[in-house]
A and B are shown apart, each in its own frame.
Chain A
Amino acid sequence: MAKRVLVVDDSFMMRTLIKDIVSADSDLEVVGDAENGKIALDKVKELKPDVVLLDIEMPEMDGLEALKRIKLSSQAKVIIISSVAQVGSPQAMEARRLGAFEVIAKPSGAMSLDIGQKKGSEIVKMARKAVGLP
């Protein structure tokens, strides 16, 4: 059975893009999306995803705040996808400390405009790794 993925980002376009990238992998299934941390918490409870792809900068409740709560209330692996959390940035370190499985950059044009490449993209690779898929 495909692993369940929840996509959290405040941009509709980013959600569309990330969902498209993830659903190219038949072992992963996007079960829902959320536009801020608060909605994400409800969705995590409701949809019980295996992986949460989480943005950091969001209104209402930001990604780090949501990360803490998701870690406490669910067993889902959380992958931070954010351009704020550049590797080595305080946010990235904080996300790691709080139990994020991985911190990766937002998809850049090279990938979104060449749909063929996305299967091997960083997001898919990390999501597979998080749920123990080869």
Chain B
Amino acid sequence: MSDMVATLWREFAVETEEHFEIIEPLLVASETQAVAPEDISQLFRSFHSVKGLARAMDMRAMETVGHHAENLLGLMRDGVCAFDAAAASLLLEAVDALKALREKAVNERADSDPPAELIARLEQAYAMLSGGGGTKAPASQTHAPKVQVQPQAAPPPRVEAQPPPPAEHAPLGPDPDMLRFYAEMVEQHLPDIARAATSEIDDAGARAAALESLESLEHATSVMGFEGLAAHLADLRRIVENNDAGGKMKAAGILGEIKVEIELLESEIPATITGTGLADRLRLALQSEVTGLIDGMVGVLHRMSDTSGTRVADTDATLAAELAMLARSSCMFFLFLNLHQASRLILMIEDVYGRAAAGELFLHPQILELTHEAVGRLHDVAQNMATKADIDEADVNALLERFRHSLLFGTECVDGADPVSALRRVLANFDISPDLVEILSAENIQDLVAAVHDGHNNLYEILAHFESSEEMTLNFVKWVKAEATAITNRTVFREGKTWFEFLIVSALVPPTVESRIAGIDPSGNSILVRCCKAKAQAGGALATTTPAAVTAVTTAAARAADPKGGAVVSAKATNVLRVRGETVDQLMAQIGEMVTIGNMLHVSASESGVQAALQHLKDYARVQANRPDVMGWVETIEGAVKAFQRSDEQLRSALSRLQDATLELRVVPVETVFNRFPRLVRDLSQALHKQVRLEMEGGEVRIDKAMVESLVDPLMHMVRNAIDHGIEPPEDRQAAGKPAAARLLLRASSRSNRVVIEIIDDGRGLNIERIRTKAVERGLVGAAEAARMGPKEIGRFIFAAGFSTAEQVTETSGRGVGMDVVNTNVLRLGGSVDVETTPGAGSTFTLQLPLSAAIQRVLMVEAGGRMMAIPERFLSEIHQAAAADYRTVKGRAAILLRQSFLPVFRLSELLGFGAGSAGEGSHRSVIVLVNGHQRIGIEVDKLMRRQELFVKEIHPKLASIPGVGGASIAGDGSVVLILDGDDLFRIAERSDVVAATTALPSPSAAVPALPPTIH
């Protein structure tokens, strides 16, 4: 059996189970409430999936049942018939059948005979509901759910007479959905594309986005058959690819054409699809937008003029940046509106203020004035957008000319050196082609100078034509990433081909680079290399430029040399990883060991002996021998100890984080437990003729996966109990003035590191008096004591061993498993269970569980020379008793604690480890354990510390020792027994031959029963 097949079987088991968990609650819910269409779709999909999964594993019986269920649901999904209770019931039967078949499939990997009777009924239902009246489901004629053996080699059913697939790029016809998607795509991509005409396109990211949008839209447009528009998009794409001077203006022109095309298109797209027309919608949106932007620009200009008396460079830069941004945004809109002259004007404004913001030019008052004028013109255009009137071309030309003139005049006004030209001067030291220098941003230049000025790197210009081979492209990019740094790149057209020109820095010498390139491009025609010799003192030249000046020139850097826009970066892993539970448990166990080792380390780190020894050494060095050299050694050791302790602290916190993170891996939503209940409640209430409305809350609360299985039984039992005993028959409920249908609520919530699950019913509540009587009958409590106890305390007796109040043994609850078993199971999980009841109004059972059953907080103690751990959940308090406090009550040691006698047992004796040295010290440590109403004292030799232990699976030999519940490894590597508090109580009870109440000659009035005491 190959791994693959094993994997498939495992996944088959997991996924079919998941689908059943989806299907069942939906079906059960559907019997009492209306089914939403999406639920029917979900049911359909789940049955369909089960069928597909079964088919893949050759489980024909499951496939057949799944198929028929799917057919039936298909009718309901398509509205042929309504979803009713009868159908739900039938489908539930189908689920039961599927579950049974799945069991066999998973366990034996064997197919079964299809349940013929059920299939016949499913077919019948299908025939009836589809209105055909026939006995065979039509869909099964096309499908192959044959009961007989399938010919193994048969190809999947296909009919050869199918029409051939449509030719590539053939128009898909006026499919309204397609048109709608297309309109959506256009809408989605327009903003990216519109940037082609703005200076944003100089940014590599924006360019990549625009190119991608153009490509997608171009493709979609030709798929739709709109060839004219596709051609324009292709033109625009080429312009963006080149991104050369004047490209933006050309792009603006083409965008105008595209706009016209889209308007034309709208006559083809029915208004019902796009709502209002696409172009109209755009225009409507743009009109208010553009007016707002222009108003914003006017506002900024006013603020600039206000500060012009006292010019502050920083304020200017901020305002200029704001203005540039507003201009950039509004430019896009003008282009869409085919207002070309207005966009030319605004592009100029954007350019000027963009540069001003970057500190590249000084905003001369004349420029401000000009801007005022230009914005005024734009404002007029925006106001009169309805007339679609643009500014006169001659006017714009004149304005632009005046701008350029002012700029020339203005730049000369900048005091001192222009940082850009300073950097350009640095570049003059390198033999780089002027075209490349032109596109270098300030950051590029910094990178370049930093890489070259130490003299170890060489600078190369590489011209590459990538269209010939994708593999070569990939190899080249890989090589650059591995052995070089790309400074910049650009696209050039030569001899009708697209080339990429790269400027790269590499430590490799020219012959090596040439041989590497020859390896990537054996033809030698597609990649050309030229080494640029760096002239002397490049670094020195850089020093003449202040860092501030360099950083002042901020241009969005085209850093990466990856022409595909990062396509070689491996895809993000977004899939859910499935790990087997055991794997996580193993990980958990290993982390547990690490925690243990960490604890050992911590013990060493906090070993008080070291400190004492050091102190002795210090005293010796100072007083006894006057040895300064020894003092030095002591200090060295002290330093090392401190460092060790610090590392220990860090390790501990890292470990606890690791532990928490791993704990997260183990948790699953409580839903996985809750989801089993709708079915149970349905079946039970039908069997018992009761009406129950099940509600569930907090299904998202998470619990340890290991706990799920152990939790199901106690919960099931309590739910059974609630329905069987708690909830009255409908007629009784109505007689009591309650609605006929009872409410049963399962509610989960999480409180710090505990999970609380409540089972709340509005039934008759516990019969407190009967429990009281019974408790006395069973000798659990004295009659007088019982009479004093409140309902809450009495209620808890139902958890006592062997306690049952059911008058008759019913099929559901009287299985000999009482609430005491629930209590025991829950305690074993480290949890607790409690009940609250109001006679006539219902009961609430509350389960409290730890987040994880594997990690327990314990108190470490020593007894009889052994280290042992007592889980904190059993601890009530710790008491230091003097020897004089001990009394003998009925032959047992006891101490008086808060006016009650507490029986005290020596732990080593209880466990049969021998008597040990009893009561030597003046004070003895007594741990008070609590179990429900009982308390006992456990005397130990030594209290150690509190800590967390990872509970290991216990060896059977150890498990048989009474009182031992588990084992772990202690800080020093020795085995620590984890004691079971319940067991200790039992041993204590057994060992205590003298029972019942004995009053002591004592000044205190009330001396309760001993032992164990019951409060």
Counting CB contacts under 8 A, is B157 at the interface?
yes
Distance to closest chain A CB from B649 (angstroms): 42
Pair A72/B571 contact, Cβ less than 8 Å:
no
Pair B571/A86 contact, Cβ less than 8 Å:
no
Within residues 42 to 73 of chain A, which ones have a CB less than 8 A from any CB in chain B?
43, 45-48, 57-59, 68-69, 71-73
Pair A88/B59 contact, Cβ less than 8 Å:
no
Counting CB contacts under 8 A, is B51 at the interface?
yes
CB-nearest residue of chain A to B178 = A68
Interface string of B19-61 (1 = CB under 8 A from A): 0000000000000000000000010110011011101111100
Pair B162/A13 contact, Cβ less than 8 Å:
no
Within residues 104 to 134 of chain A, which ones have a CB less than 8 A from any CB in chain B?
104-110, 112-113, 115, 122
Q: A residues within 8 A CB of B219?
A: 72-75
- A12-B578, A20-B4, A72-B185 are known contacts. Are A98 and B172 too (CB-CB below 8 A)? yes
Counting CB contacts under 8 A, is B884 at the interface?
no
Counting CB contacts under 8 A, is A100 at the interface?
yes
CB-nearest residue of chain A to B564 = A48
Pair B178/A72 contact, Cβ less than 8 Å:
yes
How far is it, in angstroms, between the C-alpha of A96 and the C-alpha of B175 when the chains are bound? 13
Pair B2/A31 contact, Cβ less than 8 Å:
no
Q: A residues within 8 A CB of B224?
A: 72
Pair B15/A104 contact, Cβ less than 8 Å:
no
Distance to closest chain A CB from B577 (angstroms): 10
Q: Choose among A13, A48, A87, A115 the residue with the greatest number of B CB atoms under 10 Å from its CB.
A: A13
Pick from A17, A47, A86: contact of B157, CB under 8 Å: A86
How far is it, in angstroms, between the C-alpha of A68 and the C-alpha of B175 when the chains are bound? 10
Q: B residues within 8 A CB of A48?
A: 567
Interface string of B113-135 (1 = CB under 8 A from A): 00000000000000000000000
Interface string of B469-503 (1 = CB under 8 A from A): 01100000000000000000000000000000000
Distance to closest chain B CB from A109 (angstroms): 2
- A32-B571, A75-B219, A107-B56 are known contacts. Are A115 and B178 too (CB-CB below 8 A)? no
Counting CB contacts under 8 A, is B154 at the interface?
yes
Counting CB contacts under 8 A, is B579 at the interface?
no
Counting CB contacts under 8 A, is A26 at the interface?
no
Pick from A16, A57, A84, A97: contact of B7, CB under 8 Å: A16
Counting CB contacts under 8 A, is B770 at the interface?
no
Within residues 208 to 230 of chain B, which ones have a CB less than 8 A from any CB in chain A?
216, 219-220, 223-224
Pair B181/A69 contact, Cβ less than 8 Å:
yes
Pair A115/B4 contact, Cβ less than 8 Å:
yes
CB-nearest residue of chain A to B70 = A84
CB-nearest residue of chain B to A123 = B156
Pair B178/A16 contact, Cβ less than 8 Å:
no
Counting CB contacts under 8 A, is B165 at the interface?
yes
Interface string of B183-223 (1 = CB under 8 A from A): 00100000000000000000000000000000010011001
Counting CB contacts under 8 A, is B142 at the interface?
yes
Distance to closest chain B CB from A4 (angstroms): 11
Pair A72/B55 contact, Cβ less than 8 Å:
no
Pick from B143, B172, B173, B182: contact of A86, CB under 8 Å: B143
Pair A87/B154 contact, Cβ less than 8 Å:
no
Q: A residues within 8 A CB of B142?
A: 86-89
Q: A residues within 8 A CB of B48?
A: 57, 83-84
How far is it, in angstroms, between the C-alpha of A35 and the C-alpha of B45 when the chains are bound? 13
Pair A104/B162 contact, Cβ less than 8 Å:
no
Pair A102/B165 contact, Cβ less than 8 Å:
yes
Pair B575/A96 contact, Cβ less than 8 Å:
no
- A69-B181, A115-B5 are known contacts. Are A46 and B571 too (CB-CB below 8 A)? yes
How far is it, in angstroms, between the C-alpha of A128 and the C-alpha of B838 when the chains are bound? 72
Counting CB contacts under 8 A, is B150 at the interface?
yes
Pair A11/B166 contact, Cβ less than 8 Å:
no
Pick from A16, A31, A99, A104: contact of B158, CB under 8 Å: A104
CB-nearest residue of chain A to B1 = A113
Pair B53/A109 contact, Cβ less than 8 Å:
no
Counting CB contacts under 8 A, is B79 at the interface?
no
Distance to closest chain B CB from A60 (angstroms): 11
Interface string of B574-603 (1 = CB under 8 A from A): 110010000000000000000000000000
Q: Choose among B53, B158, B223 the residue with the greatest number of A CB atoms under 10 Å from its CB.
A: B158
Distance to closest chain B CB from A36 (angstroms): 11
Pair A13/B53 contact, Cβ less than 8 Å:
yes
Pick from B15, B42, B154: contact of A12, CB under 8 Å: B15
Pair A13/B172 contact, Cβ less than 8 Å:
no
CB-nearest residue of chain A to B151 = A110
How far is it, in angstroms, between the C-alpha of A13 and the C-alpha of B56 when the chains are bound? 9
How far is it, in angstroms, between the C-alpha of A99 and the C-alpha of B152 when the chains are bound? 31
Pair B181/A72 contact, Cβ less than 8 Å:
yes
Pair B57/A109 contact, Cβ less than 8 Å:
yes
Pick from B5, B156, B178, B220: contact of A104, CB under 8 Å: B156
Counting CB contacts under 8 A, is B11 at the interface?
yes
Counting CB contacts under 8 A, is B284 at the interface?
no
Distance to closest chain A CB from B781 (angstroms): 56
Pair A14/B56 contact, Cβ less than 8 Å:
yes
Pick from A17, A73, A106: contact of B8, CB under 8 Å: A17
- A48-B567, A108-B58 are known contacts. Are A72 and B182 too (CB-CB below 8 A)? yes
Within residues 145 to 166 of chain B, which ones have a CB less than 8 A from any CB in chain A?
150, 152-159, 162-163, 165-166
Q: B residues within 8 A CB of A68?
A: 175, 177-178, 181
Within residues 917 to 939 of chain B, which ones have a CB less than 8 A from any CB in chain A?
none
Pair B158/A57 contact, Cβ less than 8 Å:
no
Pair A98/B175 contact, Cβ less than 8 Å:
yes
How far is it, in angstroms, between the C-alpha of A39 and the C-alpha of B42 when the chains are bound? 19
Pair B11/A16 contact, Cβ less than 8 Å:
yes
Distance to closest chain B CB from A5 (angstroms): 13
Distance to closest chain A CB from B6 (angstroms): 11
Q: A residues within 8 A CB of B11?
A: 12-13, 16
Q: A residues within 8 A CB of B143?
A: 83, 86
Pick from A13, A57, A96, A97: contact of B12, CB under 8 Å: A13
Distance to closest chain B CB from A81 (angstroms): 9
Q: A residues within 8 A CB of B153?
A: 110
Q: A residues within 8 A CB of B7?
A: 16
Distance to closest chain A CB from B187 (angstroms): 13
Q: B residues within 8 A CB of A33?
A: 575
Q: B residues within 8 A CB of A57?
A: 44-45, 48-49
Pick from B55, B57, B158, B163: contact of A83, CB under 8 Å: B55
How far is it, in angstroms, between the C-alpha of A99 and the C-alpha of B601 when the chains are bound? 67
Q: A residues within 8 A CB of B8?
A: 13, 16-17, 112
Distance to closest chain B CB from A79 (angstroms): 10
Q: Choose among A20, A59, A84 the residue with the greatest number of B CB atoms under 10 Å from its CB.
A: A84
Q: B residues within 8 A CB of A12?
A: 11, 14-15, 578
Pair A113/B181 contact, Cβ less than 8 Å:
no
Pair A110/B152 contact, Cβ less than 8 Å:
yes
Q: B residues within 8 A CB of A96?
A: 162-163, 165-166
Distance to closest chain A CB from B185 (angstroms): 6
Distance to closest chain A CB from B369 (angstroms): 48
How far is it, in angstroms, between the C-alpha of A102 and the C-alpha of B56 when the chains are bound? 20
Distance to closest chain A CB from B359 (angstroms): 38
Pair A11/B52 contact, Cβ less than 8 Å:
yes
Q: A residues within 8 A CB of B571?
A: 31-32, 43, 46-47
Distance to closest chain B CB from A11 (angstroms): 6
How far is it, in angstroms, between the C-alpha of A68 and the C-alpha of B2 when the chains are bound? 38
Within residues 21 to 41 of chain A, which ones have a CB less than 8 A from any CB in chain B?
31-33, 35, 39
* Complex A-B: 10 CB contacts under 8 Å: A13-B15, A16-B8, A17-B56, A45-B216, A72-B178, A75-B219, A88-B142, A105-B158, A106-B55, A110-B150
Given contact pairs A73-B220, A96-B163, a sample of 17 additional A-B residue pairs in the complex whose CB atoms are under 8 Å apart: A1-B470, A12-B11, A13-B12, A14-B53, A16-B7, A43-B571, A57-B45, A58-B45, A71-B172, A72-B219, A83-B52, A97-B173, A97-B175, A98-B172, A106-B56, A110-B150, A112-B8
Give A contacts to B, CB under 8 Å.
Answer: 1, 10-14, 16-17, 20, 31-33, 35, 39, 43, 45-48, 57-59, 68-69, 71-75, 83-84, 86-89, 96-110, 112-113, 115, 122
The 3 closest A-B pairs by CB, nearest first: A109-B58, A105-B156, A13-B11
